[in-house]
Amino acid sequence: MPGVINDTEITAETTGPSNLERSKTERRKQNNPADDPTKQLLDDKISIRKKLKMLNRIATVKDDGTVVVNVPSTLEATPIDVGAVDGYEDVVVEESLDGSDIPYRPPIQIVILIVGTRGDVQPFVAIGKRLQDYGHRVRLATHANYKEFILTAGLEFFPLGGDPKVLAEYMVKNKGFLPSGPSEIPVQRKQMKEIIFSLLPACKDPDPDTGIAFKVDAIIANPPAYGHTHVAEALKVPIHIFFTMPWTPTSEFPHPLSRVKTSAGYRLSYQIVDSMIWLGIRDMINEFRKKKLKLRPVTYLSGAQGSGSDIPHGYIWSPHLVPKPKDWGPKIDVVGFCFLDLASDYVPPEELVKWLEAGDKPIYVGFGSLPVQDPAKMTETIVKALEMTGQRGIINKGWGGLGTLAEPKDSIYVLDNCPHDWLFLQCKAVVHHGGAGTTAAGLKAACPTTIVPFFGDQPFWGERVHARGVGPSPIPVDQFTLQKLVDAIKFMLDPEVTLQILCAWADETFSFVSYRKNR
Tens of pLDDT, residues 437-482:
899 899 989 999 999 998 777 888 999 999 999 999 999 998 999 9
Is residue 408 predicted with pLDDT exceeding 70? Answer: yes
Is residue 50 predicted with pLDDT exceeding 70? Answer: yes
Is residue 92 predicted with pLDDT exceeding 80? Answer: no
Average per-residue pLDDT in the chain?
A: 80
Is residue 61 predicted with pLDDT exceeding 60? Answer: no
- Residue 455: exposed, middle, or buried by beta-carbon count in 10 A (0-12, 13-18, 19+)? buried
**Strands (DSSP E) found in 277-320:** 313-315
| Segment 346-378, tens digit of pLDDT | 899 999 999 999 999 999 999 987 778 888 999
The residues, ordered by sequence, that sit 6+ positions from 444 with a Cβ below 8 Å of its Cβ are 337, 339, 421, 424, 505, 508, 512
What percent of the chain is modeled with pLDDT above 70? 73
Is residue 87 predicted with pLDDT exceeding 70? Answer: no
Segment 492-517 shows an average pLDDT of 71
> Which domains, and CATH codes, for the chain?
104-253+279-334 (3.40.50.2000), 343-517 (3.40.50.2000)
Give pLDDT, residue 102. Answer: 62
Is residue 306 predicted with pLDDT exceeding 70? Answer: no
- Beta strands 66-72 and 59-61 are antiparallel
First to last CA, the chain: 28
Closest to 156 in 3D by CA, of 140, 171, 132: 140
Q: Which residues of 313-349 are buried (b: 16+ CB within 10 A; e: fewer)?
A: bbbbbbbbbbbbbbbbbeebbbbbbbbbebbeeeebe
CA–CA separation, 171 and 152 (whole Å): 29
| Segment 246-276, tens digit of pLDDT | 999 999 998 887 777 788 888 888 888 788 7
Is residue 243 predicted with pLDDT exceeding 60? Answer: yes
**What pTM value is reported for the model?**
0.80
Residue 304 pLDDT class (50, 70, 90 cuts):
very low
